[in-house]
Structure 1
Amino acid sequence: MSLVAQSLLTILRGVLTNRTWAENRILEQPIDPIDDVVGPRGRPGKAVVAVYVEKVEGEPSGLETQRGMQEMTLRVITYVPPKLEVDDNGAPLRFDHSGAGLALNLIARQVEVALHVGNETWVNLFRKFAVKIKKRNTRFLLVELEESVRIPTMEQTFEVCTVAEPEIGTPIYGAWIEFDVALRTTPPGSKMADLMKMVIENPIDLTGPEQLQATWNLSDAAFEATGLAPLATDANGEAIDGVNDIISSPDIEVTPPDLP
C-alpha cells in the first residue's frame, strides 16, 4: 500500500499498547482478529483492538508518486467478548452483553485519549506522520460467530492527512529517523527497522546516479538531458564513441566592430 500507511499502523500500535483495556492485544491489519476474544467456556474473555489502513489517496507531482500529502482512512476496531472482565487500578470490572455498549464506549474514549497522551514517543510520531485529522466517525457493530456467539464491536474511523512518502534511494531523514529509533528500542522491532530502512535507502541496490534518477522519476532520455547521467559504456566498460562526444569548447570567432 505505502510506507507511510505501514508506519502509521505500527505507530498506532505503539500509541495504544497498554493504554486501553485491551492492554497489549493491539493487532496490525489482522485477517482474523477475534481468536483471543472469546475465552474458555464460562470464563471471561479479553478485549482486542485491531488497527487497519483501509484507503490511501494522494495527488502525485507529475510521475513522482512519492511526492505530495496523502489522505488515509484509519480504522480502530475494538472487540469485546460476551463476558468481559478488566482490572481498573486494582478494582475488577465485569461486563456482560447488557453492559457491552458501556465497555465499548469507555474503550473508545481510551483510544482517543491515547492519541494525545500516554506513550509519548509514539504519540509524537503519530502527530508527525498524521498531520491532520479531517473527520472521525464511530459506529457499533455486532459480529456473529458460529454457534450464535455474538461479539459486540465498535469501529472508530479517522480520515487523516499524512506526510508524503519518503524519497527513493535517499538516506532516511526527519521523522523517519525518529521512527527508526523508536522501532529499534521496542523489541523485536529492529528487524522491521532494518527492512524499512533498506526499502527506503537502497530498494534494489541502486547506484548513486540511479538513486538520483529514481528520486526525480526521470526517463533515461530526460536523465541524460540533465547532463548528470553516467557515460555510456560497452560490455568492456569502455566509453562508446559518438555517444559521449560533447563539444565543450566550441570554436568562436569574434569580429570586432569597424573602427573609424
Structure 2
Amino acid sequence: MPERASVKPFTSVWTRERKGPREQGLSRDQIVRAAMELLDAEGLDALSMRKLGAKLGAGATSLYWHVANKDELLELVMDEVYGKVTVPEGADWRHAASAFAYGLRGAILEHPWSVGLIGVVPGLGPNALTASDRLVGSFAGGGFAGTGVDYAVNAVIAYTLGATIPEVSWLNAIKSAGTDIAGMQAAIGPTIERLASDYPSLGERYKSYTGTDFDPTTARRLAFDFGLLALLDGLETRLPHST
C-alpha cells in the first residue's frame, strides 16, 4: 500500500500562551486593529507582516512577540469579524438564528475581504465559539435533538454564507471595475439583453427592473429576509410537536 503523506501538525494562535505587551512595545489588540484597518482599506492581498509593521512603525520583532506568522494573525482578525455576530444568550432558536444570520451577513459586508478566509481560517477564537455555542444551545433548547441540532445549525450557516458570499463577490467586482452598481448594470445590460433573447421570459423579467426605482441594495436585503424566513419556517416543521 502507498505510504500516507504526513500531515503537518495543526497549530493555532488560540492554543499559545498569550504574552503581555513588551516594554514600550505594541499590544496584540493594537496589531489586530491595524491589520483590520489595512484589510478594510486595501484587501486581503495587501496584508503582509512587513506592511503591517510599516503601518505601525514597528519592526518584525514586535509583531512576532504576539503572532508566530501571518496565519496566526489571520486567525485573530477573523475572530474580530465574528465578534460582530451577537447571539443573545438564552434566546429562542428562531431569534438566535436570525441574530446569527443577520450578524454574519452584516460582518461580511462590512469586511468583504473575509470572504477569502471563510472555510480557510478555522473559527476557533472566543467570539466564534461563543456565537456557535449559543446558536447550538438555542436549537437544542428549542426541541431539536441529536444530529438534528447540527443539521439545523448548519442549514442556517450554509444559507447565510450562500446568500452573502456571491453578493460580496459582486460588490468586490464593482469596486475593482472602478464604478458603482448603476454603472455596472449599465455596462452589462446590453449584453444580458442580447444573450437573453432566446429566453423571453427571463428577458422580460430583467427588463421589468430597468428604468424603475428598483434599488439593488434593498432588493438583496429583502431577498435575504425572504430566504431566511422560508428556511426557519421549514426548520420549524422538523420539530416533534409540528403537525
Q: TM-score of the superposition, structure 2-length normalised?
A: 0.27
Which structure shows the bigger proportion of residues in strand conformation?
A: 1
Which structure shows the bigger proportion of residues in helix conformation?
A: 2
Q: TM-score of the superposition, structure 1-length normalised?
A: 0.26
